[in-house]
Amino acid sequence: MTILAVDSLKTHFFTRAGVVRAVDGVSFSLGQGEVMGLVGESGSGKSVTGFSILGLVDPPGRVVEGSMLFHGEDLVTMPTREIRALRGSRIAMIFQDPMMTLNPVLRIDTQMIEAILAHEKVSRKEALKRACDGLAQVGIPSPEQRLRNYPHQLSGGMRQRVAIAIAFLNNPDLVIADEPTTALDVTIQAQIVHVAQNLCRERGTALIWITHDLAVVAGLADHIAVMYAGRVVEAGQTDDVIDRPRHPYTVGLLGSVPSANRRGQRLTQIPGMTPNMLSLPEGCAFRDRCTHNDERCKESPEITTDSGGHAIRCFHPQYEKAPA
Amino acid sequence: MNTEATVMKETPLQRFWSEFCESRIAVASLVVLLIIILLAALAPWITPQNPYDLAQVDVLDGKLPPGSDAYAGYTMWLGSDGAGRDLYSAILYGIRISLTVGLAAGFIALIIGTVIGLTAAYAGGRVDTFIMRAVDIQLSFPAVLIALVLVAILGRGIDKIIIALVAAQWAYYARTVRATAMVESAKEYVEAARCLALSTTRIVIRHVLPNCLAPLIVIGTVQTASAIALESTLSFLGVGLRQTEPSLGVLISNGFEYMMSGRYWISFFPGIALLLTIVSINLVGDQLRDVLNPRLKR
Amino acid sequence: MTAFIIRRLLQAALVVFLMSVIVFFGVNVIGDPVDMLISPDADQAEIARTIQALGLDRPIGEQYLHFLKGVATGDFGKSFIFGEPALKLILHHMPATVELALVSLLMAILLGIPLGLYAGLYPDRKVSKGIIAGSILGFSLPTFWVGLMLIMLFAVVLGWLPSTGRGDTAVFLGIESSLWTRDGLSHLFLPALNLALTNISLVIRLTRAGVREAMHQDYIKFARAKGLSESRVVSVHLMKNILIPIVTVLGLEFGGLLAFSVVTESIFAWPGMGKLLIDSLLQLDRPVVVAYLMIIVLFFVVINLVVDILYSVLDPRVRLKDQGA
């Protein structure tokens, strides 16, 4: 059953220097309990996509086009009041930097209880108990004590666990995780992924995991969408995208990740710099960094999907060229 | 990328000017300020009367409302004060004194503060701690209090007021210069200069000081405005300049006693002159800060 | 925490000591002590007598110790004008000043925070731009000038409010104050507003800057993502973060209010210790001037100390850092 269907979403930022098309026609859909990896470099629009779903895009940005059907209701046209009722209860979000997410001057219990009381009429005591259980479920030892702490008394990994606990407090249908492991140590990254994955499985929660790191989502996601310059350039089942990448950009991304089964091989890199969103080249946005660039690429390629559901936006699809 | 390329073609001064002109209010303030300075500088040639030449002042002209004719024949467009001085003339002369005191105090405080700030930044260690502690303590007291302490010790008069203003303000400059110098000296080009075995004095004067200029200009304008305000405050209270050195504050103070009887103009017009002076300097300073502070650039 | 307080106490004592040195040497070395401390009307015999009584013929170090002893026992000498001990005179004028300062502090909070919040939350609205322009004016205009304009407008032109004096006072809850009478309040309003002006501007700026900065913080976005109402996001998550610096600055500004009350009290003829200082300065009543300066320095040091300690209590981050140290 599809719980979220995003269609041709466009979120633009109207800055003094010009219009930044941060998200420029993104479509994907997500079934109940499914995990999607949304992959891309910084500035590719993946985080803005996440914030657009929750209606939390800060001015001068706004959603200008498209629809986002959540259980069949369009989040784009939904009144602010109703979106707010969904936030934190049906759709929750985990942010990138746990050091910045929790309010530094409020205790953990305050920040957890208010998340429950914003959506349900329960007693403070009941809410406190649920907060405590929530902390225990994300693997925080002695949760009663931790509840009385301020955020700065916890380590980064602990804080991210707290943020995850808050996200799952109201049993949401969908959790959007915006690079939740980027700011953490490698050893802790794996734990955080594990905690989030378990909670999703147990409760049948759908998950959008936003990251720049294909390796992280390879073992986590059911399917993957790769974004470049505000558009999805490749999407499909995780195995298809990881093992048989067809867009030159995805190929480049995979080639730049070290991995155990490619020992001894050279790491490749994508030439050029991340694109300036104010002056994208005409046609394919990846054109001037692509080795397959030719005359055709001056036109914008449409997205094409094969029978296996593997979609790409490119005139020069790569066949079986992935490093073995 | 494109915008940067075009900007590079302008000289830094042109760019500074075009950015300054982005604010119409700032440009208007600059024009007002220049007019004020010009009027003050030309005061002896464009006023009908030297208000402090007793031979030209007639007590019979005292307290005349704006637009009255003086005994000597000219029209007193802004009226006259209690002693019969033409207010227009008195105000222009008053601006002269106010500006002189403010600029002198600002300049001396700037020099002293800069030297102390650079010393703190480059001596480091105990000297730095000592100087910065002194700066912190001084800045925890309001300027008006420091000035009052000095006025209490030194008494009245232009020279003493300037000393009091400098004492109240040097710390702002010192703190700013030290902070900027610390940032600059951590940068690579200073490191490079050190590697070339250039002397510390040379590095400080040739490399670090020029980079402190931008914040100094900003602080300098704002502090000069506040020096003028502080002087006028002290003078208004009767503990600043003497009657023989009539700044705007002294003029306002003289008129205050007549205010309740409805002779508003004796205080009001010098007050407006003071307002225009201080506010225009501050607005120019605000825009300078926006233009010169790269952190705020959009 | 205790170590922190002790360290700050020692520092405060040092500042008071240094200021006593400056005031003492200012009066005794730079100025002429005979001129400074003895009534100008005194005759030769009295001057000689006083010089001996004050110990001005003794070495400077000894004199300083004598002065310190006087300060420690609250003996600053007698006022030339009133013939009363200087300290008693100042304490007598203090309640009026403290009342004025407290009321204007309250005005700064009640007016400054809502205005600053509005300007910060809706930066593009015309009203916000007006608020900011007003606060720039409030900052750059000298207090006495604004006082003058207030008198002109409200007392002379409109005739709504009195412009001089303190008005009637009454005793309520054991406190004598002009807050308890209509007449007192009408006298209090203009000077308090005048004194508050700089601080209203300051609070507006601080609040607005705080709001603008905090609004882009992740924790605000996260609070919204939790589905909290906008009013809770602003009143709890935002305000609690920006109140700490505002409270700190306002606390420090209380000393500034006492100092600036010198100006306001002089304009509005408010019978507080600031007016007493100016009167004493003009009448060369030096014992009172010296006593005022020492007392106001003491005030400042105590206020700074209290604010520092309060700050560390208010902000959990600071509190903890100190426990760790």
Inform me whether the pLDDT recorded for A308 exceeds 80.
no
Name the residue with higher pLDDT: B259 or C278: C278
Say what percent of chain C tops pLDDT 70. Answer: 86
Q: Encoding tokens for residue B172?
A: 């702002």
* Highest CATH level, class, for A2-90+173-312: alpha beta
Closest residue, chain C, to B229 (C-alpha) = C142
Inform me whether the pLDDT recorded for B62 exceeds 70.
no
Task: Give the residues across from B258 on adjacent strands.
Answer: none
Nearest-CA neighbor of A177 among A221, A140, A137, A134? A221
Number of domains composing chain C: 1
In a domain, C241, yes or no: yes
Among B142, B236, B274, beta carbon nearest to C256: B142
Q: Is B129 left (phi over 0), alpha (psi -120 to 50) or beta?
A: alpha
Measure A286 CA to nearest chain B CA, in Å: 18
Inform me whether the pLDDT recorded for B204 exceeds 90.
no
Range of the domain at C212: 93-289
Tokens 């015999």 appear where? C45
| Interface probe with A: pick from C218, C220, C240, C313, most Cβ of A within 10 Å | C218
In a domain, C142, yes or no: yes
The whole-angstrom separation of Cα C142 and Cα C131 is 18
Closest residue, chain A, to C314 (C-alpha) = A105
Measure A279 CA to nearest chain B CA, in Å: 8
Average pLDDT value for chain B: 81
Every domain of chain B and the residues it spans: 12-296
Q: How confident is the model at residue B5 (pLDDT cuts 50, 70, 90)?
A: very low
Average pLDDT, stretch A138-144? 86
Inform me whether the pLDDT recorded for A292 exceeds 80.
no
Q: What's the pLDDT at B102?
A: 93
Three-state DSSP string of chain C: CHHHHHHHHHHHHHHHHHHHHHHHHHHHHHCCHHHHHCCCCCCHHHHHHHHHHHCCCCCHHHHHHHHHHHHHCCCCCECCCCCCEHHHHHHHHHHHHHHHHHHHHHHHHHHHHHHHHHHHHCCCCHHHHHHHHHHHHHHHCCHHHHHHHHHHHHHHHCCCCCCCCCCCCEEECCEEEHHHCHHHHHHHHHHHHHHHHHHHHHHHHHHHHHHHHHHCCHHHHHHHHCCCCHHHHHHHHHHHHHHHHHHHHHHHHHHHHHHHHHHHHHHHCCCCHHHHHHHHHHCCCHHHHHHHHHHHHHHHHHHHHHHHHHHHHHCHHHHHHHHHC
Residue B251 makes CB contacts below 8 A (sequence gap 6+) with B81, B87, B90, B91, B94, B266, B267, B270
Q: What's the pLDDT at B1?
A: 41
Q: What's the pLDDT at B152?
A: 78
Average pLDDT value for chain C: 80
Average pLDDT, stretch A224-231? 87
Name the residue with higher pLDDT: A316 or A119: A119
Residue C116 sits in a domain whose CATH number is 1.10.3720.10
Task: Give the residues across from A14 on adjacent strands.
Answer: A19
Q: How confident is the model at residue B107 (pLDDT cuts 50, 70, 90)?
A: very high
**Which residue type, as a one-letter code, is found at position C318?**
V
In a domain, C195, yes or no: yes
Nearest-CA neighbor of A248 among A156, A309, A312? A312
> Which residues of A lie closer than 8 Å to B, measured between beta carbons?
16-17, 276, 279
Q: Does C225 touch chain A (CB under 8 A)?
A: yes
* End-to-end alpha carbon distance in chain C: 9
Inform me whether the pLDDT recorded for B2 exceeds 70.
no
| Interface probe with A: pick from C211, C217, C219, most Cβ of A within 10 Å | C219
**In chain A, which segments carry CATH 3.40.50.300?**
2-90+173-312
Reported as half-sphere exposure (CB side, CA atoms, 13 A), residue B270 has a value of 36
Q: Count of residues for chain B?
A: 298
Measure A151 CA to nearest chain C CA, in Å: 9
Q: Does A153 touch chain C (CB under 8 A)?
A: yes
The chains in contact with chain A, meaning 3 or more Cβ pairs closer than 8 Å, are B, C
Architecture of domain B12-296: Orthogonal Bundle (1.10)
**Which residue type, as a one-letter code, is found at position B290?**
D
- CB of B284 within 8 A of CB of B26? yes
What is the per-residue pLDDT across C218-260, written as a single tens digit (0 to 9) for each? Answer: 888 888 888 888 888 888 888 888 887 887 788 778 878 888 8
In a domain, C24, yes or no: no
In a domain, C285, yes or no: yes
Q: Encoding tokens for residue C133?
A: 């322009």
In a domain, C250, yes or no: yes
Q: Count of residues for chain A?
A: 324
Q: How many CB atoms lie within 10 A of CB C171?
A: 9
Q: What's the pLDDT at B248?
A: 86
In a domain, C5, yes or no: no
**Which residue type, as a one-letter code, is found at position C66?**
H
What is the per-residue pLDDT across C122-133, written as a single tens digit (0 to 9) for each? Answer: 888 888 888 988
Q: Which residues of B touch C256 (CB under 8 A)?
A: 142
C145 to B274: CB separation less than 8 angstroms, yes or no: yes
pTM: 0.77
- CB of A64 within 8 A of CB of A26? no
